[in-house]
């Protein structure tokens, strides 16, 4: 009995150890998966370290007014480390550095370090934005030192393409001044934090597209009315048969009937 009891206790301990091992393995896999979501900058050249001349690799410039007297773009970079880009609006404008991203479903954290000089306080200032209606970080106006601007964005189940912009000014909110940006990031996260605004891209696009005008019953009523008008017109104005073209034989007979009958009158020639 003592030997049997010892064996049972040994099996119980081994079973608990096996269960603990399985649980540790599962938790470690989940931890790796979660950490995988939270690392890796999806923006290419997000530190603005690479470029040529005045252009920055993977980024392009765009503005509401493209005239050179409105906006000046610049890129500065040390021999080592990251660089920075700047957008200077000499006249009221909405101007930005842009990069396209293709994202899978889930939550993403977008952030950038920014500072400003003499940015107008009456319109939208320096932001990190998605070129969709209202998707942007808090903005910097006036003269501000370096601050991190950020927001969270939920991408729908089928994924989506977005345009990320380091921006000065906004839609129908043109502004002047000088904005500087560095260390731009787009990172997939398990869930949004409380340190910035949160946006649902699917809901925003649905609201922007709007609902269809009218209802199904109005479409059915319209089609019924059109069908009724067609029947009324057919009963009121019946179709008349088209005139048949006369055959070739009938045309020849008609021509022959128009010719005078009998011999032509003889001419009388008088002599003398």
- Averaged pLDDT score across all residues of the chain: 81
Residue 231: burial class (beta carbons within 10 Å; 0-12, 13-18, 19+): exposed
- CATH class of the structural domain 51-209: mainly beta
For range 156-160, the mean pLDDT:
97
C-alpha distances (whole Å) from 133 to each of 162, 201, 214, 252 are: 12, 10, 25, 79
Q: What is the pLDDT at residue 256?
A: 62
Tokens encoding 16: 């608990």
Q: What is the pLDDT at residue 243?
A: 57
Q: What is the pLDDT at residue 25?
A: 45
Tokens encoding 204: 């925003």
Which residues 6+ apart lie within 8 Å of 43 measured at CB?
Answer: 58, 99, 101, 164, 184, 185, 186
Tell me the C-alpha distance between 28 and 40, whole Å. 20
Q: What is the pLDDT at residue 188?
A: 98
Tell me the C-alpha distance between 224 and 220, whole Å. 6
Nearest to 123 by CA among 171, 164, 71: 171
pLDDT tens readout for residues 55-74: 999 999 999 999 999 999 99
Q: Would you say residue 88 has pLDDT above 50? A: yes
| Local confidence band at 229 (pLDDT 50, 70, 90 cut-offs) | confident
Own/partner long-range contacts of 204-208 (Cβ < 8 Å, ≥24 apart): 204/132, 204/133, 204/134, 204/135, 205/132, 207/133, 208/132, 208/133
**Comparison of pLDDT for 69 and 220, the residue scoring more:** 69
**Percent of the chain's residues with pLDDT above 70:** 66
Coil/strand/helix, residue 216? helix
Tokens encoding 262: 């009998």
For range 213-227, the mean pLDDT:
62
| Local confidence band at 172 (pLDDT 50, 70, 90 cut-offs) | very high
pLDDT tens readout for residues 110-148: 999 999 999 999 999 999 999 998 999 999 999 999 999
**Comparison of pLDDT for 222 and 241, the residue scoring more:** 222
Contact 43, 177 (CB under 8 A): no
Contact 39, 188 (CB under 8 A): no
Coil/strand/helix, residue 257? helix
For range 12-28, the mean pLDDT:
50
Query: Where are the chain's structural domains?
Result: 51-209
Q: Would you say residue 202 has pLDDT above 70? A: yes
């Amino acid at each position: 009995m003592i030997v049997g009891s010892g064996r049972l206790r040994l099996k119980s301990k081994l079973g608990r150890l096996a269960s603990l091992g399985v649980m540790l393995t599962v938790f470690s896999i989940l931890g790796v998966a979660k950490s995988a979501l939270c690392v890796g900058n999806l923006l290419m050249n997000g530190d603005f370290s690479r470029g040529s001349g005045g252009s920055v690799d993977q980024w392009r410039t765009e503005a509401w007014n493209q005239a050179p007297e409105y906006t000046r773009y610049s890129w500065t970079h040390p021999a080592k480390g990251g660089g920075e880009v700047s957008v200077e609006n000499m006249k009221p404008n909405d101007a930005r550095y842009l990069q396209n991203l293709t994202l899978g479903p889930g939550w993403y954290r977008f952030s950038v370090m920014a500072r400003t000089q003499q940015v107008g306080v009456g319109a939208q200032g320096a932001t990190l934005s998605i070129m969709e209606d209202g998707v942007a970080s808090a903005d910097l106006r006036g003269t501000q030192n370096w601050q991190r601007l950020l927001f969270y964005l939920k991408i729908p189940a089928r994924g989506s393409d977005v345009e990320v912009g380091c921006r000065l000014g906004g839609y129908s909110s043109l502004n002047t001044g000088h904005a500087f940006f560095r260390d731009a990031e787009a990172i997939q996260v398990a869930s949004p934090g409380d340190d910035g605004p949160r946006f649902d891209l699917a809901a925003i696009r649905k609201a922007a597209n709007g609902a269809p005008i009218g209802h199904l019953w109005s479409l059915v009523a319209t089609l019924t009315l059109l069908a009724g008008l067609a029947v009324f017109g057919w009963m009121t104005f019946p179709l008349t048969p088209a005139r048949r073209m006369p055959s070739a034989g009938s045309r020849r007979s008609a021509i022959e009937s128009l010719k005078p009958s009998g011999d032509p009158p003889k001419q009388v020639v008088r002599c003398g």
